[in-house]
A and B are shown apart, each in its own frame.
Chain A
């Protein structure tokens, strides 16, 4: 049971990190990224390939850097495009990463993937306690990322990004570099997804292309929509809710004997799709709407006017 709980906590943490990355790109800056899974996979493989050479912390930083670099390049190529085109380019990026992972055997191990990835601190922590320590590390990572992103969102950069999302024309008329702002948002989001990928690799200790399917992208979108676009706190709640519900469907298999493994997977994904549609229709602002600043927040003495 302890092992099961720790599995769920790590899975939720990975999903929360991915969601935080997407929330920064899409929720805060308004950039649709349908290729989330590509950046997560890039992070996971970077971490898996480098960890035995540079140690886990550097591997994690490297994973973030590689994903951020890929995001920057992709953003630079395509971000001046309208939302529809950006969505198409990113979905293509996700597919291309998957094809590369499957076919560049010399580096990625092809369909077999990479096994025996060393876990962080495994020399210090005894194996018996590892299942309690790793979830704590994962939650710490989520907390740190949350704090960092929340600071960014509150900073002038975050304000500028929200303005770019709401009306890029006004922002560029005010002399802000819209393109640079968007690239920054995309790179930061990509870095967070890379970190999520490295946590995924460290936890499972083996990775293969089959783990990185569009389901990761779907969960992330669902988490952002459920939590409320632009709200990091909402995102954490959204990610926890979704992953718990998804995990709960596991027990369906025990109660409904007619449902086999393939059907269970289909049921989960189908419900996620249905959830995305229903949320967009019924509660587009999500659980927690993005916090709006009022005049009083800046000038406590002023009369409240809208």
Chain B
């Protein structure tokens, strides 16, 4: 029983890791929490569903197409909205991102309606091992997320692009002096966040089903994960996501399942009360 909960918790934590990374990367560069993460996730989920169910592409192809579309969307939104508001302060940016979230979510609702949509995947028998039940979707989620995290970590720590991103996050003025364009770095970061969100949209759609509120239901745990890790710290976001996933799953031992979301809220409040910088906050910018 406990083992099963821990496995479920770790996998749902991994599912939170990608959107939490998307949130924290954008925060690192542009210093505002993007409230459109949930809606972009939903958008990516629908894009993949159209490719998969309507066009008939295999799911991984659909996911790749959705990731490309979401990356493009994120860049366009940056050009049209966020780039123009960059000097208006973080409040204007976060209110604008809330507006964008409404627009994206309701485009999906307008086109696809409120009903839930499932991907065309074969239903596989869950694997049983020592009394534990592991779904096919859980394995897909775990493998995808772990691969993404490793690739992203390599990108951030060992590539010129990653160095540029970290430099801009650390000190945009100094980075600009060294010839690193803030706007270019910002655009690449937006594209990365779009890819991550679309992939998590596919995984979330596999886990439950795609509906207009899919992303919204992840919003609070994703923010909790990113804050727990210290906003701006990628490795912290992954760690935070695992903690939130485990905490939500284990809370079902003592709380009714309907109250899972409250766990995220409680963790955010407790953490902000005791340690505003998050667990990895001191290392928000790793040099």
Residues of A within 8 A of B (CB): 30, 32, 34, 77-78, 81, 83-85, 87-89, 91-93, 95-96, 99, 102-103, 218, 221, 225, 262-263, 265-267, 269-270, 272-277, 280-281, 284
Smallest CB gap from A98: residue in B: B261
Contact assessment for B258 and A87 in the assembled complex, using a CB-CB cutoff below 8 Å: no
- Among the 9-residue stretches B12-20, B49-57, B97-105, B174-182, the one with 4 or more Cβ atoms under 8 Å from chain A is B97-105
A101 to chain B, nearest CB (A): 11
- Among the 9-residue stretches B153-161, B239-247, B269-277, the one with 4 or more Cβ atoms under 8 Å from chain A is B269-277
Contact assessment for B265 and A262 in the assembled complex, using a CB-CB cutoff below 8 Å: no
Contact assessment for B96 and A270 in the assembled complex, using a CB-CB cutoff below 8 Å: no
Contact assessment for B258 and A99 in the assembled complex, using a CB-CB cutoff below 8 Å: yes
B99 to chain A, nearest CB (A): 3
Contact assessment for A91 and B219 in the assembled complex, using a CB-CB cutoff below 8 Å: yes
The distance in angstroms between the C-alpha atoms of A91 and B27, with both chains bound, is 18
Smallest CB gap from A87: residue in B: B94
Instruction: Chain B residues near A84: list those with CB within 8 A.
Output: 27, 32-33, 90, 94, 231
B110 to chain A, nearest CB (A): 4
B-side interface mostly: helix
Q: In this assembly, does B88 line the interface, its C-beta being within 8 Å of a C-beta of chain A?
A: yes
> Assuming A88-B223, A269-B102, is B265 touching A277 (CB within 8 A)?
no
The distance in angstroms between the C-alpha atoms of A130 and B53, with both chains bound, is 53
Q: List 25 A-B contacts (CB under 8 A).
A: A30-B91, A34-B98, A78-B269, A91-B220, A92-B223, A92-B264, A92-B268, A99-B259, A103-B258, A218-B99, A218-B102, A221-B95, A221-B99, A262-B114, A265-B109, A266-B107, A269-B102, A270-B106, A270-B107, A273-B100, A274-B99, A280-B92, A280-B95, A280-B96, A281-B84
Contact assessment for B269 and A89 in the assembled complex, using a CB-CB cutoff below 8 Å: yes
Contact assessment for B110 and A266 in the assembled complex, using a CB-CB cutoff below 8 Å: yes
The distance in angstroms between the C-alpha atoms of A85 and B90, with both chains bound, is 11
A92 to chain B, nearest CB (A): 4
**Given A83-B94, A276-B102, list of 7 further CB < 8 A pairs?**
A91-B223, A92-B268, A95-B265, A96-B261, A99-B261, A272-B102, A280-B99
Instruction: Chain B residues near A93: list those with CB within 8 A.
Output: 265
Smallest CB gap from B217: residue in A: A95
The distance in angstroms between the C-alpha atoms of A276 and B276, with both chains bound, is 30
Contact assessment for A83 and B90 in the assembled complex, using a CB-CB cutoff below 8 Å: yes
Smallest CB gap from A85: residue in B: B272
Q: In this assembly, does B131 line the interface, its C-beta being within 8 Å of a C-beta of chain A?
A: no
The distance in angstroms between the C-alpha atoms of A30 and B259, with both chains bound, is 31
Contact assessment for A270 and B92 in the assembled complex, using a CB-CB cutoff below 8 Å: no
Residues of B within 8 A of A (CB): 27, 32-33, 35, 81, 84-85, 88, 90-92, 94-96, 98-103, 105-107, 109-110, 113-114, 212, 219-220, 223, 227, 231, 256, 258-259, 261-262, 264-265, 268-269, 272-273, 276
Instruction: Chain A residues near B33: list those with CB within 8 A.
Output: 84, 87-88
A281 is contacted by which of B81, B106, B262 (Cβ under 8 Å)?
Answer: B81
Instruction: Chain B residues near A32: list those with CB within 8 A.
Output: 91, 94-95
Instruction: Chain A residues near B92: list those with CB within 8 A.
Output: 280, 284
Instruction: Chain A residues near B256: list those with CB within 8 A.
Output: 103
Instruction: Chain B residues near A274: list those with CB within 8 A.
Output: 99, 103
Instruction: Chain A residues near B94: list those with CB within 8 A.
Output: 32, 83-84, 87
> Assuming A91-B219, A273-B101, is B258 touching A102 (CB within 8 A)?
yes
Instruction: Chain A residues near B100: list those with CB within 8 A.
Output: 273, 277
Smallest CB gap from A100: residue in B: B262
Which one of A30, A266, A276 has the highest number of Cβ atoms from chain B below 10 Å of its Cβ? A266
> Assuming A88-B33, A92-B220, is B258 touching A81 (CB within 8 A)?
no
B91 is contacted by which of A83, A218, A269, A272 (Cβ under 8 Å)?
Answer: A83
B264 to chain A, nearest CB (A): 7
Contact assessment for B99 and A273 in the assembled complex, using a CB-CB cutoff below 8 Å: yes
A238 to chain B, nearest CB (A): 14
The distance in angstroms between the C-alpha atoms of A271 and B268, with both chains bound, is 31
B157 to chain A, nearest CB (A): 26
B257 to chain A, nearest CB (A): 10
Contact assessment for A280 and B88 in the assembled complex, using a CB-CB cutoff below 8 Å: yes
The distance in angstroms between the C-alpha atoms of A263 and B268, with both chains bound, is 35
Which one of A91, A95, A277 has the highest number of Cβ atoms from chain B below 10 Å of its Cβ? A277
Contact assessment for A85 and B99 in the assembled complex, using a CB-CB cutoff below 8 Å: no
Instruction: Chain A residues near B88: list those with CB within 8 A.
Output: 280, 284
